[in-house]
Structure 1
Amino acid sequence: MLPSYLTISAALIAMGVEVAAYWSPLRKAVPLAQPGDHVCQQIAPFREPVIISTTVLAHHRIYYVACGDILKLFTCTVRRPVYRAAYKTEIRSGYKVRRVCCPGHTLKGTMCHPCSTGYYGINCDFRCPQLCLQGDHGTCRPMDGQCTCMPGYHGVTCDEECPSGRYGPGCTSFCQCPQGATCNSMTGACLCNPSSRNVHCLQATQLPSGGAVTTSHMSVFCLLLPCLLIRLLINLDGCCGALYALCHWNK
């Protein structure tokens, strides 16, 4: 049984080998107020009542003042307007930006929770396509429900291994192995024949699971790095640690 993609990737990265990325969902709740990939901005129309204040004429106040009009007995009447505050309600419309949980999350209280397995979309309201759930090497992307295959696999249900000579996510990468060797469909690490004498080849005598491997079942790993370089990097007392396996020079 080969090690998982994450286990192999960790080993290769530790040795400086570039590994293609594979999408992995965030599996924890995050506050909506905390910036991150889980928070999206939504532009939404709004209509809301707005109270507007103004002034209106209430009445006129009458004053009597002295004047030079003899016909009015030198007393004139003056009217002065008196205003008061008035309020009216108007409906104002427009657009505003608000923070929402991105597709693939649902809001519970103030936290954005990832969709449960088998669900996707805004508020996780949709069930993943059944085809995507049938295979063992694929996952339903909670953002849009698309079936994403693990590196090394393709097909509608992600149950088809990459064709010979290709590897990685979507089987889009080409193997770069010595003649007579095939590559691991997940990582691109070369799987050499036991008879190979190439300096890149390493012979695994113990798999990452810890189970011993007999001579008749020995698999041979070869990386696109000389074993000597790996020995200098890892310093395992003359042994090469490739893919978390205990490796020796291929004789």
Structure 2
Amino acid sequence: MTNARTESTTLSNGVQMPWLGLGVWKVKDDGEAERTVAAAIEAGYRSIDTAAAYNNEEGVGAGIRNSGIARDDIFVTTKIWNANQGYESSLAAFEESRRKLGVDVVDLLLIHWPVKGKYTDTWRALEKLYKDGYVRAIGVSNFQIHHLQDIIQAGEFVPMVNQVEYHPLLTQQELHAFTKSSRIQLMAWSPLMQGNLDHSLLAEIGAKYGKSPAQVVLRWDLQNEVVTIPKSTNPLRLKENADIFDFALTPEEVAQISALNRNQRFGPDPDNFNF
């Protein structure tokens, strides 16, 4: 049976990464993160995406430990925040994240944003952590093609993942093609357009399969070979978001959804951000 537990992609270094994960941006570290992670794991999720900037790594770690599932069966992603970028400061920031998560090894470590003048030094730090065995895979987040080219030219390793804003209104086709040709796995944050799902096409396709617009979009992600990490703290919604492995969109439906693209961002522009 295919489901969130068993469906995974193989990164360029051979590491298996689940296609579906839980994003925990804006999930509070007051017990909410721990409860949400535990509920997601119970619903079949085996990948959790957090970041130092989310201020919930301790709750995420507690949720994983208390889930009853072996640590090795959970794929944990975290990120180096902008203020901590640079070689030495990134190494120190990673140690803090590792302490808060309560893990020996992080499955995937990302540079959160391409901070000008710093991200290549930050990448050197990630490469060291990878070579030393503290992380199983390394990558970036919110990197455009020119940022990726800088990393590839300056570094020893090609990023294994690029996590970006990606959804039917922002398909980033040129970036997606570049990552595919470079064997960089694309990963979608805000895949559900921060709740902006009121599109007749999504409703029509969902009605055909007995699925919600959210499920249709998440299935579209997978069929475009994009890892997806929808966020929810609602146990019922968590289960619904994971129930996307029992149907498939036709190639025509995938194309129709992709045609909704407006190059519309709900988050910051990676070439113009101020934090």
Q: Same fold (TM over 0.5)?
A: no
Larger proportion of strand: 1
Q: Which has the larger radius of gyration?
A: 1
Please give the TM-score of this superposition, normalised by the length of structure 1: 0.22
| Greater RCO (CA < 8 Å, at least 6 residues apart) | 2
TM-score (norm 2): 0.21
Instruction: Choose between structure 1 and 2: higher helix proportion.
Output: 2
